[in-house]
Structure 1
């Protein structure tokens, strides 16, 4: 958004102010210091339309450059790797590609100061019966909007999340990333906290479920077998900041990213099995071991600090293979 400049006539102000204006020439009200909607609904609609058009071109032609124009963050890393793999298999593109279309869209727009600014498109697509939660971020007044997070929710999950809190002007309320968010875990710490939890499942920050206790339990089955040994490393992604929307009950829906490495080392006499999707991303030669790197995007409800309940609940987890290394 351009900086708004207001010029004040010298004759209309006291002498001291007039002297200052003579020196400075004008008074500037910086848009980044004013609390205002992150985007108008009209512009949000155009951003989503542009995303759809460019996304169709990128996925029909497997064009990484086009994808870079509309995506950033963890979503871009996941999709760039996917496009690279498909381009390897189908260098001429996908002649049977079905264009992506959106419908029944609701824009969740907070009021913000400063940059970056963001909003969420809550929309249906012709891909499935799930609601797409697409986060769009604009880094500065001269930057373009890029999609950075995607979560897919069915109707029951969307209803279970509850209503979003709104301010007096009807805008959704964004959640600060630090401790002032008043949540059991600050949004900025979610990636680090989740990575620590996945090591052994200790602590009570997360509610039991598929992406928490079940995932920790499943790992135990594969750490050591007669065929191979598996090692897991999980990391936060501070380079991909989360976003949070305040819920009416004081909690928050937070969308955040994380990074996960899985290394399998085979026993003597065994061959390393390389999944087809890992081939085009491979570095090195997988003689005895293969390390696969994935980026994951999560949609979770974090309860308020004074009402922890069962803990942080996962509603969606979208994961993509982004790298592979053999040794």
Structure 2
């Protein structure tokens, strides 16, 4: 995360699509008991230590543009995305500034097993460069390290909607919970359908219109038409990525959900020179790799709020290309 939060993402091939996209729960049940279940994943003091240790190691990785160092402090999807961001940094010879978290609030759920996890609402940067984070750390098993697993950028202070019990701890929501407008585990499929086939796609109606849903689809379609006018054909499909879904109960009995999509893009051109490895793809393949074909893999993390009734609102994301192959 340290590497990519400070290295600005520039547009993808065609200078269109990145801008458009940028505009597992353990424990709990679908209806939590009145009395808290499980034990807190860790104390808030321990969570602060995890965050401080993460920042120190991430800064070392950033100074050396060393993706290998991230393996000790991150897990996928965050690891793959931030490793790609460091490759971009090396390619453009730009090291990230020092990472420092401020105004952090921890949301520690009560859990009954592993993976254990917790969330943190925090910020980096100052003034106009302030950036909010919805960090999610996980621990795979007893004695395993705490690793940053997800960090979508919320467009608002979405985590302050999380409900806390009388001891200040949060409640996890099962991915299959049925007391919500849509089960958290089905959000990724609905979102993928919307971005691939539009708001009228099956299941897509559970998502509210907005910059990261219906407006992104419109921008993608416009981007495809623009590229076609330049002699480039683009095919783009989204699917749920194979990662756990995490969710916390909110004050209105809804849920705040972290989930991930995979985007596969295929660019093709009949004439050489129409395609180039540029923008967010730099560092993932040689600059001259794309002659008449370019295939990319992108991961997109999302943060969404799901009400008990109504439509889910997507209010946070982090997008990064992680692979590119030209021919």
| 2:90–2:283 contact (8 Å) kept in structure 1 | no
Q: Which residue of structure 2 lines up, in the alignment, with residue 12 of structure 1?
A: none
Which of 223, 236, 239 in structure 2 is aligned with 1:235?
A: 239
Which of 168, 171, 181 in structure 1 is aligned with 2:169?
A: 171
Partner secondary structure for residue 297 of structure 1 = strand
TM-score (norm 1): 0.80
| 1:162–1:248 contact (8 Å) kept in structure 2 | no
Q: Which residue of structure 2 lines up, in the alignment, with residue 326 of structure 1?
A: 326
Q: Which residue of structure 2 lines up, in the alignment, with residue 5 of structure 1?
A: none
Measure how far apart 1:269 and its partner are. Answer: 5.9
Partner secondary structure for residue 153 of structure 2 = strand
Q: Which has the larger radius of gyration?
A: 1
| 2:190–2:207 contact (8 Å) kept in structure 1 | no
Measure how far apart 1:166 and its partner are. Answer: 2.3
Q: Which residue of structure 1 lines up, in the alignment, with residue 313 of structure 2?
A: 313
CA RMSD of aligned residues (A): 2.2
1:176-195 equivalent positions in 2, closer than 5 A: 176-178=174-176, 180-195=177-192
How far apart are the structure 1 equivalents of 2:191 and 2:68?
32
| 2:138–2:146 contact (8 Å) kept in structure 1 | yes
Q: Which structure's relative contact order is higher, taking Cα pairs within 8 Å and 6+ residues apart?
A: 2
How far apart are the structure 1 equivalents of 2:160 and 2:253?
11
Measure how far apart 1:230 and its partner are. Answer: 1.0
Deviations for 1:165-206, whole angstroms, at most 9, x for unmatched residues?
22343311111111x252222222222221112122224111
Which segments of 5 or more consecutive residues in structure 1 lack a partner in the other structure? Answer: 1-31
Measure how far apart 1:323 and its partner are. Answer: 0.8
Partner secondary structure for residue 281 of structure 1 = coil
How far apart are the structure 2 equivalents of 1:66 and 1:183?
40
How far apart are the structure 2 equivalents of 1:109 and 1:269?
53
| 1:183–1:302 contact (8 Å) kept in structure 2 | yes
How far apart are the structure 1 equivalents of 2:57 and 2:160?
32
How far apart are the structure 1 equivalents of 2:265 and 2:103?
39
How far apart are the structure 1 equivalents of 2:54 and 2:47?
11
Partner secondary structure for residue 44 of structure 1 = helix
Partner secondary structure for residue 119 of structure 2 = strand
Partner secondary structure for residue 280 of structure 1 = coil
TM-score (norm 2): 0.80
Q: Which residue of structure 1 lines up, in the alignment, with residue 298 of structure 2?
A: 294
